[in-house]
Structure 1
Amino acid sequence: MQPRMRRVAAFFSTVAAALLLSLSLSAPAQAATHNPVIFVHGLSSSSSSWDDWIADFKADGYTDSELYAWSYSWGQSNVTTAQQLSAKVQSVLAQTGASKVDLVTHSMGPMSGRYYLKNLGGTAYVDDFVSIGGTNHGTSVAGLCAWLYTSCAEMYTGSSFLTALNSGDETPGSVSYAAYWSNCDDYLNPDSTALLNGATNVGVSCVSHTDMNNDPGIYTQVRDFIA
């Protein structure tokens, strides 16, 4: 009887192994939970301006490998920054294996982000684009620093940079665009500069310009938009 029992046990062991192999081969590969998010700050700022939102995203299930607060030399031309952003996107995609990223930008940040999308092929690599208090059509306040920094001159209302950036389609490609603005934003004059044709334009509560990218209420809306 012992040899027979061993043969029966071996048979069922083989069947079980085959079943487990079949299930493992048919199960779909586990996809990444979120697109990587790259945060782009504005004039006279740095990646640390996103610290509060980075903590909020982590509390809501994002990991360090999905969150990239990026710093650049904010006085340079937004064209140069856009070129550097393009390289950053490719680096993040290679590092994570993702096919697209989400861009979350503040103040002057949308200018380089939008240049990247419009002129450097960025629409192929970006899923969602968020502008927070963005100087999308210029601000007269930039006149205070236009003589000091190229980026600031480009941010001034009617600059050649903005005229070219806003010609034609302001929201190109299949990217989902959102623009958040506040009527308490003293850095944007006029307030309507923040709006983008073709985007989901959202007026928020009375929040100052420097607080917009650490405000918890705006964070919740941005998180839901890119999700």
Structure 2
Amino acid sequence: MHKRMLGLTIAALAATAMLAGTAQAELPVIYNGTFGYAHVSSSASPPGANNFACKPSAAHPRPVILVHGTFGDMSDSWQALSPLLVNHGYCVFALNYGSYAGAGSLGIYGTGNIVASAEELSSFVNQVLAASGASQVDIVGHSQGGMMPRYYLKNLGGAAKVHTLVGLAPSNHGTTLLGLATLAGYFPGATAFLGILCPACEQQTAGSSFITALNSGGDTVAGVEYTVIESIYDEVVTPYTSAFLSGPKVTNVNLQKQCFLDLGEHLSMPYDHIADADVLTALDPAHPQKPACYPVLAVIGG
């Protein structure tokens, strides 16, 4: 009997050790956009994200919300950055937003009216705050996902709930129709949603009434810290300098000034190891990252 109990105890301890080892194992981080954008399930959370039981640590007290761009979704955009953040101890969340005219059923998001998308983001932030018990979140967004939260901050009370906004190639001051057409060409079926089927596309053109109103009175709102990370090779947000912000508590980062071997452009930004290291620095400035300088390829990343 004692031997049997001892055997069961040893087995239980071994199983516990195995579970603990599994829980502590780091998630794989794959800096390859062809892998990330090949994901066929737009509704699948990126690795490690949307664990609503996650409680922020003292080291990282604010959950991080990842916001995809036009024509994208939470799965194809964050196969690298989501697990990277989780491995660094963050509670990570992501959402799909901006489905319009049935595009979401095809896995194409971020096309709807940006005001409505900002309202979706507002609701999601409230869910994350309620679940985590945190008082604020940080937001990291790519393309439209780096610009749209600024509407939330300025007009929907988001400034009190967001500590830091990080934009990866954000369309902060709009872009050209050619830039948007270039972006659509990367996503199967997205070209059909240009024009009247993509209100967000018109809203993101330089000089639109939406962009003009968003930036009236200044690019930033008080109390929020901003970081913009951009590439000189961005072929979607053009000119690339239009991504940058002006104002207090703003850090504008030029990738090529850090590493001349970084050939990454708009689409590869979430899969660029240098850009992702810059995100970590923006979220935790007390522990700046020093990414190695080695080649990053257009579209693919690295």
TM-score (norm 2): 0.62
- Match status 1:115 vs 2:140: no
Is the contact between residue 53 and residue 214 of structure 1 (CA under 8 Å) also seen in structure 2? Answer: yes
Which residue identity lines up with residue 88 of structure 2 in the other structure?
D
Is the contact between residue 142 and residue 153 of structure 1 (CA under 8 Å) also seen in structure 2? Answer: no
For residue 182 of structure 1, the aligned residue among 209, 231, 251 is: 231
Which residue identity lines up with residue 102 of structure 1 in the other structure?
D
Question: What are the Cα deviations for residues 100-137 of structure 1, in whole angstroms up to 9, with x where unaligned?
Answer: 00000110112320000000110000000011101111
Match of 1:211 in 2: 268
- Match status 1:33 vs 2:59: yes
CA distance in 2, matches of 1:159, 1:146: 14
Alignment of 1:76-225 (within 5 A): 76-140=112-176, 141=178, 144=181, 145-198=194-247, 199-205=250-256, 206-225=263-282
Deviation at 1:143, TM superposition (A): 6.0
Structure 1 residue runs without a partner (length 5+): 1-29
Match of 2:86 in 1: 58
Question: What are the Cα deviations for residues 44-73 of structure 1, in whole angstroms up to 9, with x where unaligned?
Answer: 1000111211111122223xxx10021112
Identity %: 40
Which residue identity lines up with residue 252 of structure 2 in the other structure?
N
TM-score (norm 1): 0.82
1:179 is paired with a residue of what secondary structure?
strand
CA distance in 1, matches of 2:57, 2:196: 49
Superposed CA RMSD in Å reads: 1.5
Match of 1:71 in 2: 96
CA distance in 1, matches of 2:179, 2:265: 17
Match of 1:4 in 2: none
Structure 2 residue runs without a partner (length 5+): 1-55, 100-109, 182-193, 257-262, 285-302
User: Which has more helix, going by share of residues?
Assistant: 1
CA distance in 1, matches of 2:70, 2:218: 25
2:130 is paired with a residue of what secondary structure?
helix
Which one has a bigger Cα radius of gyration?
1
